[in-house]
């Protein structure tokens, strides 16, 4: 029988703050930055199941059943304050990473969704976390992900030589994906504020409205998504608290390139 995947997307809302009761206010503000303050999100959850396609129904699971299961799980979290209303976060910070892991466990508890392949939890249009079923034949079924991927989206506009007499504006969307274990203390894969600062300093400030065709790193090579991605990777590779997993560049023609080393 054919094995395939099926993804369901559902939105829900919740509020939270990044805060550890055993730390004083100064330390919480220093470690968590703006996330220390109470705030809310309209989350988008994508749940992907893997399985074999039933030869009779042609489905992994009935779509209406899957919608009911996901909705039922999210009912517990919808329009709640994660810090104060949810017992799951009595001892851990309700970061997007930890919330995704709690939801992963909730789906694994249900027999219909035990064969979960991945979860993507979007905090907004420019930040999301992904968890994947460990790809290890030696691991037990329904093993929890050892690591998470965190993606941050940025907008970048540069210029490049279209020909010998014309310089064109080149608007780009840049997704920076880091990967690592969820820190048991902070609940984060990486310090987002530090990542923003690194991207701002190494890329956005230095390349904005620059003619990248003149960059020494390109050394006369054609400016494409591939050659530009290689330059961006070299500028971001040494992220202190997580490893760089992937860059995605999308241009105004909806051409997308994924790059990793």
R_g of the chain, CA atoms, integer Å? 21
Q: How many CB atoms lie within 10 A of CB 232?
A: 21
Give the integer Cα–Cα distance in Å for 179 and 183.
12
SS3 of 254, please?
coil
Between the CA of residue 98 and those of 17, 57, 136, 184, 204, what are the distances in Å?
Answer: 13, 36, 22, 9, 29
Residues annotated as catalytic are 35, 79, 123
User: How many residues would you count in the chain?
Assistant: 261
Strand (E) positions, 88-217? Answer: 116-124, 127-132, 148-163, 166-180
CA contacts within 13 A on the Cβ side of 199: 20
Q: Are 157 and 185 in contact (CB under 8 A)?
A: no
* Helices and strands: H and E segment counts in the chain: 7, 9
Distance of CA 239 to the CA centre of its chain: 16
Closest CA to 244 of 224, 227, 259: 259
């Amino acid at each position: 029988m054919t094995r395939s995947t099926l993804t369901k997307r559902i939105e829900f809302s919740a509020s939270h703050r990044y805060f550890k009761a055993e730390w004083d206010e100064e330390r919480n503000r220093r470690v968590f930055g703006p996330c220390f303050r109470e705030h809310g999100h309209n989350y988008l959850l994508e749940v992907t199941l893997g399985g074999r396609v039933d030869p009779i129904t042609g489905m992994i699971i009935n779509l209406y059943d899957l919608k009911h299961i996901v909705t039922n799980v999210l009912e517990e979290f919808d329009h709640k304050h994660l810090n104060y209303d949810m017992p799951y976060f009595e001892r851990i910070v309700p970061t997007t990473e930890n919330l995704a892991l709690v939801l992963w466990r909730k789906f694994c508890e249900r027999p219909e969704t035990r064969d979960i392949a991945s979860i993507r939890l979007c905090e907004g249009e420019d930040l999301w976390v992904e968890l994947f079923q460990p790809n290890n034949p030696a691991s037990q079924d329904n093993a929890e992900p050892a690591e998470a991927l965190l993606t941050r989206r940025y907008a970048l506009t540069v210029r490049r030589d279209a020909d010998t007499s014309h310089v064109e504006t080149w608007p780009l969307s840049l997704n920076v994906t880091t990967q690592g274990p969820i820190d048991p203390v902070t609940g984060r894969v990486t310090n987002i504020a530090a990542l923003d600062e690194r991207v701002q300093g190494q890329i956005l400030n230095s390349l904005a409205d620059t003619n990248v065709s003149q960059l020494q790193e390109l050394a006369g090579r054609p400016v494409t998504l591939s050659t530009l991605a290689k330059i961006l990777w070299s500028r971001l590779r040494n992220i202190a608290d997580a490893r760089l997993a992937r860059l995605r560049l999308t241009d105004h023609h909806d051409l997308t390139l994924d790059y990793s080393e």
